[in-house]
Amino acid sequence: MQSLLLDFLKVTESAAVAAMPWVGSGDKIAADGAATNAMRENLNKMKMDSTIVIGEGEIDKAPMLYIGEKLGAGGTHKVDIAVDPIEGTTPTVNGQGNAITVIAAAPKGMLLHAPDMYMKKLSVGPKAKGKIDIDAPIEENIKAVAKANGKDVTELNVLIQDRPRHKDYIDRIRKMGVKVRLFNDGDVIYATATCIESLNVDMFLGIGGAPEGVLGAVAVGCLGGEMQARLLPRDDEEIRRCKEMGITNPEGVLYHGDLVRTDDCVFVATGITDNLIIDGIETQYNNYITHSILVSGREKQVRYVKSTYPVKQLTL
């Protein structure tokens, strides 16, 4: 997978650059369409035989980058891909922070094939790996993470999306004296942040999209951390969709090895707007300057890449 890393970087950079003219435009459909077109075009140039396992949705809802779509120019690499052409479409078109374009990949059969539905997620960095239990009360997990990280509970920082469904978690965590940092969009960014020590983030917790859960799990695993999850099907139809994708126990715990079944995986993201882990696109002298993060699961090493692209004029 490492041999494809720079090719995947071109994919995310091209999608971010394509989305850039739509920042602040208010047009979600145009922004997502531009990023999706660019991402698909460049994936099809890569020497691989790949399948989208996490994408824009099922074929009846997504004309491109749909779950099950085959991409690539052929070759010996058999690859499963998880993509989000724009993670943070709303902040993109509102000109706000926390927007990235992101891709994760692993050999065929190594990523969870999950439908677009809700998922509960809990992630931590390398020091607390093996110490969490998504079935345990949040108070027990807080104490376990504090001990693993060599901190008092009052020194911990927990990231949670600012949604009404998380109010009970927020109240219980703050009651322990823990600092809760709320965010609005982009849980792939915040799950990843738990594994970048300089950011001083100890835990990510919340209920969000299952596709973002798999993307986040690849990043967390590549960086030596751990994510646990549980799908939250709301009706019989969602249970049926899970079983069709090979998830025999849709409501069971998904340990990290269920989400990503190999260390031979890669995670690449390019910033569209500024966020916690990477800067957004800058405009300098009629050029776009992109900022990206690349992580290889085998190396457990982070690379930050800065690239220059000429600005192409676009009539909105």
Binding residues: 32, 56, 84, 87-89, 118, 163-165, 185-187, 209, 212
Residue where the block lists tokens 């749909």: 66
DSSP the chain: -GGGHHHHHHHHHHHHHHHGGGTTS--HHHHHHHHHHHHHHHHTTSSSEEEEEESS--TTT-SSS-TT-EESS--S-EEEEEEEEEE-HHHHHTT-S-EEEEEEEEETT-B----SSEEEEEEE-GGGTT---TTS-HHHHHHHHHHHTT--GGG-EEEEE--GGGHHHHHHHHHTT-EEEEESS-HHHHHHHTT-GGG---EEEEEEEHHHHHHHHHHHHHTT-EEEEEE---SHHHHHHHHHTT-SSTTSEE-HHHHB--S--EEEEEEEE--SSS---EEETTEEEEEEEEEETTTTEEEEEEEEEEPPP---
21: its two tokens = 């003219």
Q: For residues 182 and 180, what is the distance between their CA atoms, to the nearest angstrom?
A: 6
Beta bridge partners of 118: 209
In contact, 254 and 85? CB cutoff 8 Å: no
Sequence-distant (≥ 6) Cβ neighbours of residue 28 within 8 angstroms:
89, 90, 92, 93
Binding site for Mn(2+), residues?
Answer: 32, 56, 84, 87, 212
Give binding residues for substrate as ranges: 87-89, 118, 163-165, 185-187, 209
